[in-house]
Amino acid sequence: MTELKGNHRGKGYGKKAMHLFEEDVKQRGVKRTGLHVFGFNKAAAGLYQSIGYEITDLSMQKELS
């Protein structure tokens, strides 16, 4: 999967997919959408924030040895 990420990241596919999703659900009458992003996935968080999604809560954890 790493190879796929490297070859396709940054080409706008995720942003285009999100815009198509939003257009589709708006036509179906949906007024709000949300999603979950794992904290380590900075690229995804950046994408979603760049198209207008806002952080609504924050979960944290700590591994204890």
> What is residue 5's predicted lDDT score, i.e. its pLDDT?
60
Q: What is the pTM of this model?
A: 0.76
pLDDT at 47 over 60: yes
How confident is the model over 26-45, as a mean pLDDT? 94
> What is residue 6's predicted lDDT score, i.e. its pLDDT?
66
The answer to whether the CB of 47 falls within 8 A of the CB of 14 is yes
Q: Where are the domains of the chain?
A: 2-50
pLDDT at 1 over 50: no
